[in-house]
Structure 1
Amino acid sequence: MTATYGLAQQEQYLARGEALAWQAGMAMRHWFPVYAERDAQTGDISVCWRDLGQRRFTDAFFVNTLKCQQPDERRYCRTPTSALASIDDCLAPDAFIFHVSRCGSTLLSQLLASLPQCIVMSEPSIVDSLLRLHHDGADPAASLALLRQAILALGQRRSGDETHFVVKFDCWHIHSLDLLRQAFPGTPCLFVYREPLAVLASHQRQRGPQMVPGMLHPAQLPLPARRLAHGDLDGYAGLVLASLFDAARPHAAAGQLKLVNYSQLPDILFSDLLPRFGIAPTAAQWQAMRARGGVHAKYGTAYHGDAPVSAAHGLAAIAAQLQPAYQALEALRLHAGQGQ
């Protein structure tokens, strides 16, 4: 599996079901862009869409909602990129959530998604495919326009009650923050992070794709130059986490990221973020969100904290090397008066 093909191959499995032929003027309401790809012969970029009907995106991740559709409900079509601009009644994003993974960002997005007035897209695959095309030499102005149109298409209003739109990106997209801010310069950005040892231990138990060499386009995840023993996945995870901390720090120092530590969740959502974004839940919605905060964000089961990290796991030395980068973020957060 090559560096540019890892996640791209997985995206192909989302184009399963009844194939519909696209025609100019076709109404794309209730359809959502899933991924984009370039034809190797013509060089043209096409977009694959899925019809979600009335199904809301309330699962932990964008692709989970797609997978929850019954096989006989799944319809997809491929269109030229011009179809992205055909969807009207779209909300501009109220917030972007960046993160280091395994740090509470899914909990944050799940709490927001429980509100009927919020559209929440958690790690939508179309963003990653468009960023890969950008890094593979697409015209910068054109790729920026496609990125903006795709994100707006994700924010389409369907019930008429939606008033807010939030996007949570994949963790490696912090390296693309400049491009995403160009697409939406006025959108507030959060960065959720956690003590390194806890993040590394979570990935040792179940590794995310970014922690497996060859799954991501190398330009999307620039790593520190360091030699590792063959098969040292824990060491590789340390390099990835270092790159995420290092990428966030200058943006946070410039005031372009609001830092949120795992230890502040979920309380900071109620005390700070909801008022900041102008979201006013009803009393019943507040109660439901509080109850949801005690459930595992990814699995929906009761959450009692992570298992303790055994010294035998060999992660302590890696985490110690990452501690200065983590503490630098903590110093910036505390200096900005963002709480303990």
Structure 2
Amino acid sequence: MKNPLARIPDFGQSIWLDYIKRSFTQSGELKKLIDQDGLRGVTSNPAIFEEAIAQSDDYNDTLASLQKDNLSPQDAFLRIAIEDVQTAADLFKGVYADTKALDGYVSLEVSPGLARDTEGSITEARSSWKTLDRKNVMIKIPGTAEGLPAIKQLISEGININVTLLFSLDRYRATTTAYIEGLEQRAANGGSLENIASVASFFLSRIDTMVDPMLDKIAQEQPEHATLARQLQGKVAIASACDAYAIYQEVFTSERFKALEAKGAKPQRLLWASTGVKNKAYPDLMYMEALIGPDTVNTVPKETLEAYRDHGNPASRLESGLEEGRYVLYQLENVLGIKLADITQKLEDEGIQKFTKPFDSLMKVIGEKSKKVTS
């Protein structure tokens, strides 16, 4: 009998892993997850690479070799990251073929400093896509206001895109528009729409991490709303995800998208990100369990993946939570006066900083380690 993790795809959801490290891809550990747990993809980000490079000796030989080429820390990092992503992507070739290009992807993010730079994002994404030279990779572009035009342009060029750092429902809807406009532009230019893939990464736990203290304050200071405020703690992120899924269903069953689908286009699936539970008072699999549903992806940290294999209980729950999710968001804004749009904008700004800081730290680590391994 398949373990709980391996049974999740039976309900229409693909599990990707939010982790990458050279020894992990080369030791056979990643291949084992693919074969035994039905793992269907990998995502990476600057914080993951910082941990991999700073806290291991996996890259010492590579850094010594790159130091001889007199590369800058950023160029050295891109060489390392591209090699790791290529290795992982090759392990997923079978998944990519078996799922007819639906899954089997490995994601590489553009430099965090480009989150507000449309042209810079386009240039780096094109360069990384060309250098990676793999059909089953995605370039991660933050879903900022400046990122949306880049997403449209890159999709029109046939580059697979993972739209990251999405918190806002309005921004998510704009992301689906950018994807569709990119496909329309490509079709108008005579390009094929087949095997172009994109996911929209909607972040979860950070929403509750920011909203819960606000609810706690209301519970303490407004006795008339105390019960409701406590009831909504730990529920806002899942409610937002459910609303995002309703948008997904609306957009990708529309006549506009059906015209593209007839030409070979695939929907841009929602990907649940930041699904590790940060509040230890909550069940460790809270986000994973609630958001299993058709045509979705969940990218999970390694420890959450292992926890689900151990004691997960897969079932299709996402669609049954749509109405409750809408009511949670209604109560949050119209009864308690918490404006979700303000929170999600702050989370986007902080999210960019959360990736910029480890990236800057990573550049320092690479510089220091490069000198150490060649001294």
Q: Which has the higher contact order (CA 8 A, sep 6+)?
A: 2
TM-score past 0.5 threshold:
no
TM superposition score normalised by structure 1: 0.34
TM-score (norm 2): 0.31
Larger fraction in helix: 2
